[in-house]
Homo-oligomer: A and B are copies of this chain.
Amino acid sequence: MGRQRTFDEDHVLEQAMQLFWTKGFEHTSIQDVCEYAGVHRGSMYHTFGDKHELFLACLDRFRHTLRDRLFVQLEEPGDPREVLTRFFDTLIDRMLDENKQRRGCLIANTAMELAPLEPCVEVRVAANLLDMEHMFHAFLVRAQREGKLKSKHSLREMARFLVTTKQGLHVMAKTTTDRKMLEDACKVALSLV
Protein backbone atom coordinates (compact mmCIF):
# COMPACT_ATOMS: atom_id res chain seq x y z
CA MET A 1 0.00 0.00 0.00
CA GLY A 2 1.25 3.44 -0.83
CA ARG A 3 3.52 4.70 -3.52
CA GLN A 4 6.92 3.11 -3.74
CA ARG A 5 10.24 4.87 -3.82
CA THR A 6 10.95 5.81 -7.43
CA PHE A 7 14.64 6.66 -7.13
CA ASP A 8 17.33 4.14 -6.41
CA GLU A 9 18.47 4.73 -2.87
CA ASP A 10 21.75 3.05 -3.56
CA HIS A 11 22.41 5.12 -6.64
CA VAL A 12 21.71 8.35 -4.77
CA LEU A 13 24.11 7.33 -2.04
CA GLU A 14 26.73 6.63 -4.67
CA GLN A 15 26.28 10.06 -6.24
CA ALA A 16 26.42 11.73 -2.86
CA MET A 17 29.61 9.87 -2.08
CA GLN A 18 31.17 10.99 -5.34
CA LEU A 19 30.44 14.61 -4.54
CA PHE A 20 31.72 14.47 -0.98
CA TRP A 21 34.77 12.71 -2.31
CA THR A 22 35.47 15.38 -4.88
CA LYS A 23 34.65 18.50 -2.90
CA GLY A 24 34.77 17.56 0.76
CA PHE A 25 32.08 17.82 3.41
CA GLU A 26 31.90 21.58 3.89
CA HIS A 27 32.16 22.43 0.23
CA THR A 28 29.28 20.16 -0.68
CA SER A 29 25.78 21.41 0.10
CA ILE A 30 22.73 19.23 0.42
CA GLN A 31 21.39 21.12 -2.55
CA ASP A 32 24.43 20.12 -4.58
CA VAL A 33 23.80 16.51 -3.77
CA CYS A 34 20.09 16.74 -4.61
CA GLU A 35 20.74 18.29 -8.00
CA TYR A 36 23.55 15.88 -8.77
CA ALA A 37 21.47 12.86 -7.84
CA GLY A 38 18.20 14.22 -9.23
CA VAL A 39 16.29 13.86 -6.00
CA HIS A 40 14.33 16.45 -4.14
CA ARG A 41 15.53 17.83 -0.83
CA GLY A 42 12.46 16.50 0.91
CA SER A 43 13.09 12.98 -0.25
CA MET A 44 16.73 13.30 0.67
CA TYR A 45 16.02 14.30 4.25
CA HIS A 46 13.25 11.76 4.51
CA THR A 47 15.47 8.94 3.30
CA PHE A 48 18.88 9.71 4.70
CA GLY A 49 18.34 12.09 7.60
CA ASP A 50 20.47 15.20 7.91
CA LYS A 51 23.74 16.06 6.26
CA HIS A 52 25.86 14.34 8.86
CA GLU A 53 23.99 11.10 8.65
CA LEU A 54 24.18 11.20 4.90
CA PHE A 55 27.88 11.78 5.06
CA LEU A 56 28.42 8.90 7.46
CA ALA A 57 26.50 6.61 5.13
CA CYS A 58 28.75 7.72 2.28
CA LEU A 59 31.81 7.16 4.37
CA ASP A 60 30.69 3.64 5.17
CA ARG A 61 29.98 2.97 1.55
CA PHE A 62 33.44 4.14 0.61
CA ARG A 63 35.02 2.06 3.34
CA HIS A 64 33.42 -1.08 2.06
CA THR A 65 34.37 -0.60 -1.56
CA LEU A 66 37.92 0.22 -0.51
CA ARG A 67 38.04 -2.86 1.65
CA ASP A 68 36.67 -5.09 -1.08
CA ARG A 69 39.07 -3.77 -3.66
CA LEU A 70 42.09 -4.16 -1.43
CA PHE A 71 41.01 -7.68 -0.60
CA VAL A 72 40.74 -8.63 -4.25
CA GLN A 73 44.00 -7.01 -5.24
CA LEU A 74 45.98 -8.67 -2.50
CA GLU A 75 44.62 -12.05 -3.52
CA GLU A 76 46.09 -11.84 -6.98
CA PRO A 77 48.82 -14.27 -7.94
CA GLY A 78 52.49 -13.42 -8.13
CA ASP A 79 55.38 -12.55 -5.87
CA PRO A 80 54.43 -10.27 -2.99
CA ARG A 81 56.53 -7.50 -4.44
CA GLU A 82 54.79 -7.86 -7.80
CA VAL A 83 51.37 -7.84 -6.22
CA LEU A 84 52.09 -4.73 -4.19
CA THR A 85 53.67 -3.02 -7.17
CA ARG A 86 50.54 -3.67 -9.19
CA PHE A 87 48.44 -2.41 -6.33
CA PHE A 88 50.31 0.87 -6.04
CA ASP A 89 50.49 1.26 -9.81
CA THR A 90 46.75 1.09 -10.24
CA LEU A 91 46.42 3.39 -7.24
CA ILE A 92 48.59 5.97 -8.98
CA ASP A 93 46.61 5.51 -12.17
CA ARG A 94 43.40 6.29 -10.36
CA MET A 95 44.93 9.23 -8.53
CA LEU A 96 46.09 10.83 -11.76
CA ASP A 97 42.93 10.17 -13.75
CA GLU A 98 42.17 13.56 -15.30
CA ASN A 99 38.44 13.11 -14.93
CA LYS A 100 38.71 12.66 -11.21
CA GLN A 101 40.18 16.03 -10.34
CA ARG A 102 42.76 14.91 -7.80
CA ARG A 103 40.14 13.98 -5.26
CA GLY A 104 42.49 11.59 -3.53
CA CYS A 105 40.91 9.20 -1.06
CA LEU A 106 37.73 9.98 0.83
CA ILE A 107 39.14 8.42 3.98
CA ALA A 108 42.32 10.44 3.89
CA ASN A 109 40.46 13.61 2.95
CA THR A 110 38.01 13.11 5.77
CA ALA A 111 40.76 12.33 8.23
CA MET A 112 42.18 15.77 7.54
CA GLU A 113 38.96 17.76 7.28
CA LEU A 114 36.82 16.29 10.03
CA ALA A 115 38.37 13.48 12.02
CA PRO A 116 39.59 15.32 15.10
CA LEU A 117 36.42 17.41 15.28
CA GLU A 118 33.77 14.69 14.89
CA PRO A 119 33.96 11.51 16.94
CA CYS A 120 31.59 9.57 14.66
CA VAL A 121 33.83 10.33 11.75
CA GLU A 122 36.98 9.65 13.64
CA VAL A 123 36.06 6.11 14.65
CA ARG A 124 35.21 5.25 11.07
CA VAL A 125 38.43 6.61 9.68
CA ALA A 126 40.45 4.90 12.38
CA ALA A 127 38.62 1.64 11.75
CA ASN A 128 39.40 1.85 8.07
CA LEU A 129 43.08 2.44 8.62
CA LEU A 130 43.16 -0.48 11.00
CA ASP A 131 41.33 -2.63 8.47
CA MET A 132 43.95 -1.85 5.89
CA GLU A 133 46.71 -2.68 8.30
CA HIS A 134 45.11 -6.05 8.99
CA MET A 135 44.71 -6.85 5.35
CA PHE A 136 48.29 -5.96 4.52
CA HIS A 137 49.34 -7.99 7.51
CA ALA A 138 47.40 -11.05 6.42
CA PHE A 139 48.92 -10.66 2.97
CA LEU A 140 52.42 -10.57 4.40
CA VAL A 141 51.76 -13.57 6.60
CA ARG A 142 50.77 -15.54 3.55
CA ALA A 143 53.82 -14.37 1.64
CA GLN A 144 56.11 -15.26 4.46
CA ARG A 145 54.59 -18.68 4.79
CA GLU A 146 55.46 -19.27 1.17
CA GLY A 147 58.99 -18.07 1.83
CA LYS A 148 58.67 -15.18 -0.54
CA LEU A 149 59.50 -12.42 1.89
CA LYS A 150 62.94 -11.00 2.33
CA SER A 151 62.19 -8.26 4.83
CA LYS A 152 63.88 -8.29 8.21
CA HIS A 153 61.10 -6.29 9.85
CA SER A 154 58.19 -7.66 11.76
CA LEU A 155 55.09 -8.10 9.64
CA ARG A 156 53.15 -5.71 11.84
CA GLU A 157 55.71 -2.99 11.28
CA MET A 158 55.69 -3.65 7.56
CA ALA A 159 51.91 -3.49 7.40
CA ARG A 160 51.85 -0.17 9.21
CA PHE A 161 54.52 1.13 6.93
CA LEU A 162 52.49 0.19 3.85
CA VAL A 163 49.37 1.93 5.16
CA THR A 164 51.38 5.04 5.93
CA THR A 165 52.92 5.02 2.48
CA LYS A 166 49.51 4.82 0.87
CA GLN A 167 48.23 7.78 2.88
CA GLY A 168 51.34 9.75 2.05
CA LEU A 169 50.76 9.19 -1.64
CA HIS A 170 47.25 10.58 -1.32
CA VAL A 171 48.61 13.80 0.14
CA MET A 172 51.28 14.12 -2.51
CA ALA A 173 48.82 13.49 -5.32
CA LYS A 174 46.69 16.44 -4.24
CA THR A 175 49.14 18.90 -5.73
CA THR A 176 51.15 16.83 -8.15
CA THR A 177 50.32 15.42 -11.53
CA ASP A 178 53.88 14.24 -11.91
CA ARG A 179 53.57 10.50 -12.11
CA LYS A 180 57.28 10.02 -11.73
CA MET A 181 57.24 11.69 -8.33
CA LEU A 182 54.71 9.19 -7.01
CA GLU A 183 56.36 6.26 -8.69
CA ASP A 184 59.71 7.16 -7.18
CA ALA A 185 58.28 7.13 -3.69
CA CYS A 186 56.58 3.79 -4.32
CA LYS A 187 59.66 2.25 -5.82
CA VAL A 188 61.70 3.00 -2.74
CA ALA A 189 58.95 1.86 -0.41
CA LEU A 190 58.47 -1.45 -2.17
CA SER A 191 62.15 -2.21 -2.33
CA LEU A 192 61.74 -3.16 1.31
CA VAL A 193 59.25 -5.95 0.80
Closest to A125 in B: B175
How far is the CB of A172 from the nearest CB of chain B, in Å?
A: 6
Given contacts A23-B117, A115-B175, A163-B168, 14 further A-B contacts (CB under 8 A): A109-B112, A111-B174, A111-B175, A112-B174, A116-B175, A125-B175, A126-B176, A152-B191, A153-B187, A156-B184, A160-B184, A164-B172, A189-B189, A191-B192
- The answer, yes or no, to whether A57 is at the interface (CB within 8 Å) is no
CB distance from A157 to the nearest CB of B (A): 4
Q: Kindly supply a per-residue 1/0 record for chain A positions 113-129, scoring 1 wherever the CB is within 8 Å of any chain B CB and 0 otherwise.
A: 10111000010011001
With A24-B113, A117-B23, A176-B129 as contacts: A167 and B157 at CB distance below 8 Å: no
Say what secondary structure dominates the interface of chain A. Answer: helix
Q: Once bound together, how far apart are the Cα atoms of A161 and B172, in whole Å? A: 11
